[in-house]
Amino acid sequence: MKFPYPSTMMLVLLLAFLCFESLPHVMAQSSSNKEAKALDAILQQYAYKALANPKTGTVYNATQLPSNLTGVKVAALRLRSGSLRRKGFDMYNEFEIPNGLIVSPYVERLVFVYQNLGKLSNKYYPLPNYTYLAPVLGLLAYDAANLSATNLSELDVNASGDNILVKFQDVKSVPHGTVAKCVWFDLQGSSNFSNVKGGNTCSTSQQGHFSIVVKSNGAPGPVSPTPHNHGKGEKKSSKKVWIIVGSVVGGLLLLVLLSFLVLCINKYKQKKKMQGMERAADSGETLQMASVGETKAPAATVTRTQPTLEHEYAP
């Protein structure tokens, strides 16, 4: 019963290894929202820095973003929430903010942080099987009470009347045979799709991140030459998942087969041993170790006492 353990151990180790191997992949998928949230926090800081002695109702662009955020645009707009509710704000870059927005919890003033993620859209908001026709734009509301505050959480914003409109500039042309869709990422990172109006406008009752996308064609002929290799990566990783699943199932099957083999061998040995002992008993010989095979049963000189048989069944 000794010999199967090394191979069983190896299988267990193999399974454990495969589990660990698949872990980073799973984590990478769920971490994309974490990265996006971390980016929101960084951009909030840069936006607030632009608000030194701010005039209410004036848009301030953030400057001096770090080099790893080149191409990202950030701005800040401070408003009184009463004025926001009564008048809205006509055109904050691409955003047309109507009256009737309700901000909760109540704050006297709030800051709308504007984000344009440019080339980093795909990195922070990966959308498998879709191609971005416009950069991801963000609109997030924070309390303006302390302009040095960091790590703020967003206020709730809800349109009680008209929706906020996002009028994208320079939308890439829609590839033939596809339909452009608005995509909205809420603060938890969930995406939701809606129809594009007037070729470039999306509508929303809440804050978050927005863009215009088309389904990318799975066929080799790429729909657009834009930097978008996400589909490919997704396919590769799904292949990897199948390899892992296959290995695990295969490993389990092997384990079952091995167990059967072990059982058979044991049965066979037992039978042999019994036969050997019976023979020995019949001939009155002393039993030799060798006659029992590799099993190191205390080869009995005693006759019919069937040495350590129960013990052999213990796993």
Ligand X SMILES: *[C@@H]1O[C@H](CO)[C@@H](O)[C@H](O)[C@H]1NC(C)=O
Q: Which residues bind ligand X (CB under 6 A)?
A: 39, 61, 66, 68, 73, 93, 128-129, 146, 148-151, 153, 158, 160, 192-193, 218
CB of 116 to ligand X, least distance (A): 6
CB of 195 to ligand X, least distance (A): 9
Half-sphere exposure in the Cβ direction for 310 (13 Å, CA): 1
Between 9 and 245, whose beta carbon lies closer to ligand X?
245
Placement of tokens 């590839």 in the chain: 175
In the numeric block, which tokens belong to residue 92?
A: 């904050």
Classify 142 as helix, strand or coil: strand
Between 66 and 225, whose beta carbon lies closer to ligand X?
66
Between 53 and 68, whose beta carbon lies closer to ligand X?
68
CB of 72 to ligand X, least distance (A): 9
CB of 171 to ligand X, least distance (A): 16
CB of 61 to ligand X, least distance (A): 4
Instruction: Compute the chain's Rg from CA coordinates.
Output: 34
Between 52 and 314, whose beta carbon lies closer to ligand X?
52
Orientation of helix 4-49 relative to helix 230-283, angle to 10°: 160
Angstrom distances, CA of residue 184 to CA of 87, 160, 178, 300: 25, 19, 19, 80
Tell me the sheet residues that pair with 165. 96, 203
DSSP 257: H
Burial class (CB in 10 A: 0-12, 13-18, 19+), 285: exposed
Between 50 and 297, whose beta carbon lies closer to ligand X?
50
Q: Which helix (H) or strand (E) holds 224?
A: none
Between 164 and 277, whose beta carbon lies closer to ligand X?
164
Torsion angle of alpha carbons 124, 129, 131, 135, nearest 10°?
A: -20
Q: Which amino acid is at 8?
A: T
Between 150 and 288, whose beta carbon lies closer to ligand X?
150
Contact predicate 245/18, CB 8 Å: no
CB of 93 to ligand X, least distance (A): 6
CB of 62 to ligand X, least distance (A): 9
